[in-house]
Amino acid sequence: MRIHVHIGPDATVTDRLQRVLQAKRDQLRGKGVLYPRSPGTKNHTRLFMAVTDPEAVDSLRFNRGFIAPEKQAALRQAVMTQLAQEVEQARPVTLILTAHQLGSCLISQREIKSLRDILSPISEDIRIVAHLDDPARMLARRYAAQVMDGRAAPLTLDLGLADAPDWWRSALDTRPAADPRAGRFPETQGAVLCLDYKRLQQEWEAVFGPGSVIFRSISPERLHGEATTEELRAAFDIADTIGKADPATPPTAPSAAWLARCRQLNDVLLRYLARHEAVLPRPLWRKFLNEIKVSGSPIDAGSLSAISQRFAKDLAALCATHPGLDPDHLTPEPATADWQEADPTRGFRATQYLLAFRWRIEQASKEELAAKTADLAALDPAATPRIEKTLTLSPSAKAHLPPQAIQALAKLQGSVFAPHNRLGDLDEEAEAAPYTRAEGGSGAVIVGCMKNEAPYIVEWVAYHRAIGVDHFLIYTNGCEDGTRGILTRLQEMDVLTHRDNDDWTGKSPQQHALDSALTEPVVENAAWIAHIDVDEFINVRCGNGTLADLFQRVPDATNIAMTWRLFGHNGVARLEDKLVIDQFDRCAPKYCPKPHTVWGFKTLFRNIGAYGKLSCHRPNKLLQGFDDKVKWVNGSGADMTGEALRNGWRSSRKSIGYDLVQLNHYALRSAESFLIKRQRGRALHVDRSIGLNYWVRMDWTGARDLTIKRNIPRVRAEYDRLLADPELRKWHDHGLDWHRAKADALHATPEFEDLYQQALALRLTETERVAYALALDLEN
C-alpha cells in the first residue's frame, strides 16, 4: 500500500481537493483508495495536531482543547489506533491523507519525524505531495489567512526578507515567542515560511527520503471545474476513473481594506490580551473581524513582485525536476507599485472597536477560563486565576451524573451555553383558540422513511393534511407491525404513495430512499418538499397555522430551516392510543445551543432545482448558477443564507428562531415506545442501538409548549375521517396490538426492564441534562 500525504501548503487548493475527495469517498473506497475519516472528516487536522511539538502549542491545539502534552499524547494514540483500524478494515491499495497545515505550519524535522512514526507502521511506501503557485500569489493568500487568524504584523515583515540569503531561517526569526493565553501563536504572527519551496523539499526529504516529495501546480480552471478529479488521479496515482467533480465557485479573496482593518484590530486585541486579564475565544475573535468587513479589491499580487523575483531561480530549477509543475501556472502577475497597506476606509479606528467589544470579551472570557483553567495553569500557573463554583445538584443528578458531567455542569454555570427559555415573543403556554379548518393545498410533498411505526402513522398523516400538505412519498423497510398494511391502504385511498425499500443498498436505507425519491413524479412536480420522520410535526405558529400562512410570511424564501423542538416523555409511561400532539407538551427550552442535537433542523424547500441531492436534514450539492437564487430563512423568517447555503444541519446562536415555524420532534413518545425504539435501533444508523444515552439527549421536560394543540380539532376531524375506513382501522388496531405485545415482551426481558426503570428514574434539570449530554459526547 502506498500512502500519499498532501501537505498543502496552499489552503485554497487543499480545501478544494478535500471537498472533492470527501464527495467521492465511497466511490474511491470501491476502487481501493481510502480517504479516511478518523484523522478528520474533510481536513485531517487531527493528524496535524497529533504531530506538532508537544511544548509548542499551536492555534488549533489551543482552540480544540489539546493544550496539555498528555492530552496531545492521548490524541496521538487515538489517531494512530483509529487510522490503523480504518486501513485494516478497508485494506486499500492507496491511502490519502491531507492537511495544508502540515506544509504551512510544521517547522522542524522533529515534527515531520513524528508524522513518519505514525505512518510507517501502516506502510513504509510514503509520498509527500504539495501544490505550489507563484510565491507572490501564495503570500497574498497565506497573509490573508494569517490575518483572519489574528496576525498583527503587516506584509512589510515578509517583504523585508526578499534580500535575505536564507529565507527559511530569517522567516523563523520573525516568529515571536508563543503566548497561547494571549492569542499569540508564532505560526500566525511570523513571516510566511513555506514560500521557500526548495527548503520545504529538503526538510521533508530529509525525513522521508530523496525523491519522496512531489510538487505539482494546477490552473484555476482545472481546480474549480469538473476536471478536479483528473488532478486527484494524477496527484495520487489513481488508475481508475472516478467521474467528474461538481464545479465550484472560486473563493472570493478578502478586500485589502478589510485586511487592513483586521490587522489593526488584531494589533490592539493582542496588546489588550497580553495583560492576561482575559482570554478571547477564537470564534468570537473571528466574529469581530467579520463585523468590520468592508468590500473592495483584494491585495494585488503584482505589488509583491519582489517575492516572485526572490524565488524565480529556485522555482525554475524545481520545474525542471518535477514534471507536475507547469511553468505557465506559476507565471507571476505583472509587477505593479510596491505594496502599501490599504486605507481601512471610513475613518476606522481599531481602539474604538476594542472599547465597543470589551464587554463581550469579558463575558466570553469567563467561559473560556472555566473551560481551560487546568490547561492554562499548565502553561502558566502564576497567571491563571482559580475558578470557584458552587454547584447545587438535583437528587437524580447526584445519583447518576458521572464526573465528566459534573465538570461540564460547572463550566455551564453563567456561560453563554446555559439553556433558558427567554427567546422570541410567542407565549407558548397560552391556551389559544383552536385553528379553523383550512381549505386548499400548498403544493407541498413530504418524503418520509418508516420502519415499524404503525400506531403513529394515521395521526401524522392527518395532521399534515390538516395544515396543507398535499401528498406523501413514504419508503419502508423491514416492517413487522403492519406499517406496510396501513400505507398500502392509504395509497389505495389516494392519500400517499408507498414504496418498498427492502432492497436498499449503500450507507443506509434512508439515503437510498432519498436518492430514489428525486426521480419520482410526485417529487418532481411538487412546489415544496420536506423530508421529515413520523415523529416530527411541522408546527406553523403564525396565522391559521397552515403552510400557506407560513409561505405568506416569507414570500422570498426558497429554503426554510425548521429547527427541532425536542419533546420528552412527559411522564407518560405506557403506550396509549391517543394523539401524540395532545399527550406530550413538555420540551427543551428554546435557547439550548448545546448539545449539538437540540438545534438540528429539517428543511422545507421550494422545488426550483437548486440542489442535486436530498439528504436527511436538507438539500445538498448546490448546482452552479444558483448561488444568488437561493434564500434560506430560519424559523422566525430571518435570512440565514450565508450560514446554510452549502452545508450545515443545525441552527446556531446567530440563526436560531422559532416564531413562525418549528419542527416538534417527539423522539421518545412514551417510555414504552422508547423501549421498542431501543430494541430495533434507528433507521439512519442501522448499526447503532439506542440506550440510556439517547434518553438523556432526548427527554427534555423543562419547558412547556402548547402551540401545536390549536390544531387538535381539525386534526381529530381528519383522523376520524380516515379511520372510518374499516380496512385502515383494522391495520391501525393491528399495529397497536403488535406494539403493546412487543412492550410486554421487553418488560419481561431483564436488560430492557432495567433500562426502562433507569430512564424513568432519571429526572434532571435542563442544565444538568446539557452537562450529561456533553459528557457523553466526550466519551464517544
Alpha carbon distance 399, 421 (integer Å): 26
Alpha carbon distance 5, 222 (integer Å): 21
pLDDT at 376: 67
Alpha carbon distance 713, 729 (integer Å): 20
- Within 374-479, strands assigned E span 444-450, 469-476
pLDDT at 681: 47
State the CB neighbour count (10 A cutoff) for residue 556. Answer: 8
How wide is the angle at C-alpha 6 spanned by C-alphas 22 and 245, nearest 5°?
Answer: 35
By the 8 A CB rule, do 606 and 559 touch?
yes
Amino acid at 3: I
Alpha carbon distance 771, 183 (integer Å): 27
Q: Please, which residues bridge with residue 632 across strands?
A: 559
Alpha carbon distance 235, 423 (integer Å): 51
C-alpha 334 chain-centroid distance:
40
By the 8 A CB rule, do 587 and 667 touch?
no
Residues ≥6 apart with Cβ < 8 Å to 468? 438, 440, 441, 442, 444, 546, 547, 548
Q: Is 664 exposed, middle or buried (0-12, 13-18, 19+ CB in 10 A)?
A: buried
Alpha carbon distance 305, 308 (integer Å): 5
C-alpha 184 chain-centroid distance:
27
Q: Per-residue pLDDT tens for 564-587?
A: 999 999 999 999 999 999 999 999
pLDDT at 56: 85
pLDDT at 373: 67
SS (HEC) of 304-367: HHHHHHHCHHHHHHHHHHCCCCCHHHHCCCCCCCCCCCCCCCCCCCHHHHHHHHHHHHHHHHHH
Phi, psi of 580 (to 5 degrees): -60, -45
CA distances from 489 to 497, 703, 725 (A): 10, 38, 9
DSSP 569-593: -TT--S--SS-HHHH--EE--SB--
State the CB neighbour count (10 A cutoff) for residue 116. Answer: 17
Alpha carbon distance 514, 522 (integer Å): 13
pLDDT at 383: 44
Peptide bond into 9 cis (omega under 30): yes
By the 8 A CB rule, do 108 and 161 touch?
no
Give the single-character DSSP code of 531: E
Domain segments of the chain as ranges:
2-330, 444-747
Closest CA to 771 of 375, 398, 369: 398
Amino acid at 349: R
pLDDT at 63: 86
Residues ≥6 apart with Cβ < 8 Å to 140? 253, 298, 299, 301, 304
pLDDT at 82: 95
pLDDT at 698: 95
Alpha carbon distance 401, 465 (integer Å): 43
Low-confidence stretches of the chain (pLDDT < 70) are 373-374, 376-390, 680-690, 778-780
pLDDT at 261: 97
Residue 537, CB half-sphere, CA atoms under 13 Å: how many?
Answer: 35
Alpha carbon distance 649, 596 (integer Å): 10
Closest CA to 3 of 105, 102, 107, 138: 102
